[in-house]
Every structure is written in structure tokens, then in C-alpha cells.
Structure 1
Amino acid sequence: MFLPQELIRKKRDGEPLTPAAIQFLVDGMTNGRLVDSQVAALAMAIYFRDMNIEESTALTCAMRDSGSVLNWQSLALDGPVLDKHSTGGLGDVVSLILGPIIAACGGYVPMISGRGLGHTGGTLDKLESIAGYTVDPSSQVFERTVREAGVAIIGASRELAPADKRLYSIRDVTATVDSLPLICASILSKKLAEGLDSLVIDIKVGSGSLMANLDQSRDLAHRMVAVARQAGCKTSALLTDMNQPLASSCGNALEVMEVMDYLTGECRNSRLHEVTTTLAQMMLIDSGIAEHAEQAQLKIAKALSSGEAAERFNKMVRMLGGPQDLLAQGKSHFNQAPVIAPLLAPQDGYLSQMDCREIGLSVVALGGGRSRPSQNIDYRVGLNRWWPLGEKICKGDPLVMIHAADQTSWQKAAQRLREAILITDEKSSVPDVIYQQINE
């Protein structure tokens, strides 16, 4: 018989916990035997003392098994079940494009996604800018959408990893959110509960990322790959840049419209395209759909050029309650913000730096995110038509278009953006969009 306070003391003193002890603690989080103060103390002990890979794996698996774990055998799917996770950032619409591409290539993607957190946008918030789209369908509708469309992007049910919901709510108010083993367990417990054959993880690096620097991002990537593989899911990771928005848009409806442009081939941001197709290539190879990079690239190109990926997106939207043919309706489906005007460059020079965290918070302040959980989102607002880093700019050039609910909101966003963007006389080096691929 374990005593919670004794296990907390052991971790506080830097001793490793056995899988049985970790299972006991996770059970206590789920059934309420551990009170909030004990969960908080445990989180703080882990924050300061870390966990080894064996402990991290035990914690992840115990949290995964604290609720339902999806099983796809009854559907007799004719391809592997795959997914992707991103640590978040600005203009990160990869999920909305990647899922349909993989479905068009023969995979099945039951993607459990989240809402915006802090300065980062949330995939569910973006999808809810589509009228009628439901992110909490019945299990029958979810399974049917996965089977017939090949992809379904929804929110987590209450039955999925309930221990994580309890632990995260306490981490959020105890300054323990940025603990590597706790981040790892939180993300992977939900992803592995999807019943996946393989997983790719997109870990951001830079001013708009979760982790402070490249070394921390690399450490998180190695940990997550090791833990997921020990838990039985083939996993790889990609370190990608978040020192500027990934897409040309930031804001819910604006980002969905950019996804529509991408899928129809009307316009494809080069950085977004590189990250999306690289992740897709990794997924196809890891799952066995493609034998090598060249074959994967051909499959991805065909999925896009044939319109099959676009049709998979359309079908997912339709089956989850959205318009019958969103892509045919075009951008007329979305309402425009009342005030749309450019932020003009104050001087000649080169666009050398963006503070992506501040840029993301400017979108939140416009109403495109939440500063409190109950807050409603204005799906119309945001930013688009970004100039990329390294570009030569003349005074008076439009740096970005601001979409606001009123003139006052526009002015406040403009002031915040002026302080978040640096223009210099000399051209600075621009980071590559992809830093490193990690397979072990």
C-alpha cells in the first residue's frame, strides 16, 4: 500500500518512482483520492527533479489508460491510423491541410485537437469559424467520418485521458506547465489514446514557441519520441521555426480561408508548404504507405494536384455538420471584420525580427483568442498578408493587414505590432523553416 505523501517525498528528494507507484498516483488523480494540494506538490517535485524515460513512459501510459482508448479494429480500415501533434504557434494551420493529404494517400487520421492557449491559436477555434462544424460529435459520427472521409478533427471527450485534465488544470495555476516530463505525458497520453499506429510531432523553436530555446526543444523532441516508442507507437519529430508566422494569416477565419486557398492550389505559402509536406512524408514512410522519400513526395503531389486532398477536407467538414461544399462556396462563407486596414512600414530597411508571442497576443486582444475560458471569440479578426523576414521594405509599404472589430481595436493592435516588429538598415540572417528531424 502506497502513501501519496511518501511518494511525493521520494520524488522531491530526487528518487525515481516505480511504474506501480506512478499508476497509484495517476489513479488517485482520476478517482479523487489525491487532493489538489498533493497533485500540486507532485507536479512541483517533478518540475524540479525531472523524470527519467522509464518514469515518463509509465506516467504517460497510466494517464492514457485513465480513460477510454480508441480501438479501430471493428471498422476494418484498409490503412494505418496516423496522427500529428504540434506544440503550437502562429499561423500553424498544418493540421487542417496535413490530415486531408494523408487521407488522400490511404491513411486514416482521427485527430484530437485543442483550443488556443496563451498566444497560440487553437485548431478547434479555427474549425468553429466554419458555420455548423461540430468539434464534439457522437462517437458514431466520429468513427463514420474517419472511415468515410479518412480524417476527422475534433476535441477530446471527457472519457479521453481524464487524469491529464485534472493534472493540467493544477499545472496551469502552479507554474509547472513548462516541465518536460509533464508536457510529454500530457500530449502523448491523449494522442496514444487515439489508438495510433504511428505519430509525428512538430516541435516549434523561436519567439512564438512553447520552449525557450533550441536545446530545450530538442530535448523535448527526443523525450517524446523515446516515450511514445516505448509505449508502442512508432513516432518521429520535426523541429521547425516559429520566429515568424508559419502561414500568411493569423486569426481563425483568415487561417481557414488560407487553408482553402492551399488545398485548391490558389496560393501556397512556401514555408507552410515545406513544413506540411515534410511532416506528410515522415508520416507516409513511418506508416509504411510509402517505402521511401521519393515515393512519398509523389503521393503527396498527386493528392494535392488531383483535388483528392481538397475533397477529403470538404467531406470531413460536411460530415461534421459544416456546409455541403465549403470550397465551392469560397470565402463568401465567412463574414469580414468591420475594419480592415494595413499597418504601414515606418521606415526603409529590412524586416529583421518579429516577436511572435506579442503578435499572437495582439490577435487575442483583437478578440481572436481568449483571455479567460468563458470568453467568446470573434472569428473575423486577425492579421494577414505578412511580409516574410529578410524582405527589403520601403517606408509606407503595408507590413500586414489588420482585421478588427472597430477602429479602437485596430489602433491598439497596430501599436502592439509596431513594438513587435523590428526593421533594420542591414539585412539579418533568416532561420531555415526546418531545423532537424528526430527519429530516436
Structure 2
Amino acid sequence: MTATSPIRYPDVRSEPVMTKRAWWLVGLNVLIPGSAQILAGNRRFGRFAVGTTFLLWALIVIGAVVFAVAHSVIYGVVTNTIGLTVIQVVLAAYALLWIILTFDTLRLTRLIRTAPLARPAIALFSVVVLVVVAGVAGYGAVSAGSARSALAKIFGGTTMVAPVDGRYNILLLGGDAGADRVGLRPDSTSIASIDATTGATTIIGIPRNLEQVPFAKGSPLYGPFPDGYDCGDLCLIDYLYTYAEEHPSLYPKAESQGSSPGIEAMKDAAEGVLGLKIQYYALIDMQGFADLIDALGGITIDVPARTPYGGVTGATPQGYFEVGKQKMDGQAALWYARTRYDSNDFQRMARQRQVQEAMLKQFQPSVVLSKFQAIAAAGAQVVKTDIPSAALGGFVDLAGKARKQAVTQLDLVPPTIEPGNPDYAKIHELVAAAVAPKTASPAP
């Protein structure tokens, strides 16, 4: 532009010229933020804004290319507290810059000199674009902050471990804490065994009433129970959590490693039962479980048979889940997963598996993005794990592979396994067969 440019030096007496100029400026502010300032305002500020805009665009393009060729790198960034802090600061700064640029552009338009009928349209267009762009950047910044906070609360581990025999084995515990319980006791215990290369996953369900649990010689529990968990009464596997919590000297380093004596005892128990090395755990507080489902917008369960729910000792059920597809909120899903009214632990294990699978289906990108803050807040309340945040990138990558394959299920229940008198040699054979490498099959 020359010194006589109508953009920088317009004829302020001409409403048509000023109106056309105003539309040009607000349009340029949208297309290339900062260009309006270069043409009609503070050139130094404009060059800074344009340079910042081009840098942000370049980072987005580079991120997209890296994601296409090595998406685990991007997963590593967005699941790292430092990476999320950088993203939050960048997005917040750009949102602020956009707000300043938009109001400065409106100042440069000299609306009072434009046609009266055009003034509201120019102002409204600028405000709408401001809300959309700054709002998206601001939401991204807030979401990055929520994710960083959730990561800090959920992922307490510090030790990176390698897969064993090509697999990651993660202990999944459903915590059953309540006013009528002394401390927490696992309400459900299962293991997710994940192929470290393909993501193929096997979920192994362990009954909460399994008895005579064996321990390897290296386990702290081998000393008090060299012949298996035998306390002279009904010694169920889920009682081991309370036992270890009452004897913290068995696992003196548990707390410093993001775990607890009870959890470490359950790890040792699962290893003895399955013959697998357990690297990590994830504990879900069942009392807060409903919040996470509500944050996801509920789940849909295909109920196979009319299922009563209510307290085990109640004379009559509180209600029924009818046959067919049912949309459940968090409280309903919790009842469905946990009820033992007129049913047993093994039937309940099958229902819990349904709920787990339904939740996985709800973790779609569109759902997570639209409800991210609620999901992050609920997750921070109900989930605890010793998986270090530094390992999340790899696990997210594996999760993406796992979603494309059918999940193998193995429940150690009658008639195959009798919890009161289990054949652990047989269990080891079943587990070895279940986790053996298989040809990938598509998820249903």
C-alpha cells in the first residue's frame, strides 16, 4: 500500500468508502489476524500478530503431519503435564491476542463514519467471530488445564516398566467403600492383559469369593501364607486388601510408589492366581463411578433378562431392569453392575463386563471433546493408578489399536472353576491360552 492508500488514509467524509474499508478490515482480521493493523494501524503490532498467527498455523500443520506418521509422539505431548502446560499457555495467549486484535480492528474501522445500516452488521460479525475463535482457544486452554489437573491426581506412579512376555498386565479393582464397611474392599477384580505390539486385549475376571489364593516365594504374603491364603475361616481373595492395609509393614514402599499395601497385596494375589506378572493397577471408586458415567452422558446396555435390583437382604426388589436396550444414567448403571438381588457374584461379573464395554463405546472423540471438563473432573475423583503419566502416550496408542479388535473374555467362574476349591494349575492353562498371540479379529 502507498501513502495514499484508502485503507490507511481513507476519505472519512465518504460513507461508501468507509463502509467498504470497514468490511475489508474485519475480513482481513478473520483471514490473517494482524493484517488489519499492518494496513491501517500499528504496523509493529500487526507484524507481531501476523508472525504469531503464522507460527501457530505452522505448529498445527506440523502437529497434523507428525500425528499422521507417528501419532504416539502427539499422544505423548498431550498426556504430559509439561506439554499440557505449554498448550494451555499458548492457547490462552492467542485467545487474548485475538480479543485485542478484534477490538483494535473495530477501532480502526471508525464505525461512526460507516453507513448507519452497516454499523450493526459489521459490529455483530466481528463479535460473533471473536466469540467463536477466542471461545475455541479459551476452551482449549481450560481443557488443557483440566487435563493437567486430572493427570496429576490420577497418575501417581513414577516407575516405567517393560512388558513381560510381550504383554502389559493391569490389575483393575472396583473399590467397595461405604458407611457400613471398614475401609475399602475390592468389589470387583479383573486383569486387562494387553499385547504390547498389537493392542489385542484379554479381560480376565477373578471372582471376589475365590479361596486358597497362592503366592510366589518372593511375595511378602508368602511368609504368613506359604500354603495359600488360609486364615482358618472363609478366606476370600478380596479380604486380602484389608489384611494388607492392617499390616502395612508388608509393603513399606507402596505409598511412595503411588500404591498402597492393599493394592500391592491384590497384585500379588492376582499373580499367584493367574501366573502372570502384574505391572500396574487401576482402582475405580465405585461410590464415584456414577459421576463418570453421567459425565459421559449415560450408557446404553442391552439387558438380556429381566433383572431385579435392590439390597441383598430386602424382602422385595427396588425395581427391575427390563429386557432390551436401556439407556442408563450413572446411578442406574451402578445398580445394574452391582446388584446381587436374586442373583450371584458370577452373574454380576457378567453385568459388570457389559458396563465396562458400554463405557468404552462412549469414549468416542466427539463425546470426550464436548464433555471433557466433566469427564476429567469425574475421572480424577474415581480413578487412581500407578501408571506414570510419562507412559500414557504409549498406552493411548495401544488403546487405539485395541478398539479395532474384539476383546477376549475369560471369567474364572463355575462350572469351569469352583471358587471354593479352585484348580490353579487349570487356571494357569486357561490364562495362558487366553493371552496367547492370536490373529487380530475386528471388534463387533
> Greater helix percent: which structure?
2
Q: TM-score, normalised by structure 2?
A: 0.25
With the length of structure 1 as denominator, give the TM-score of the two structures.
Answer: 0.26
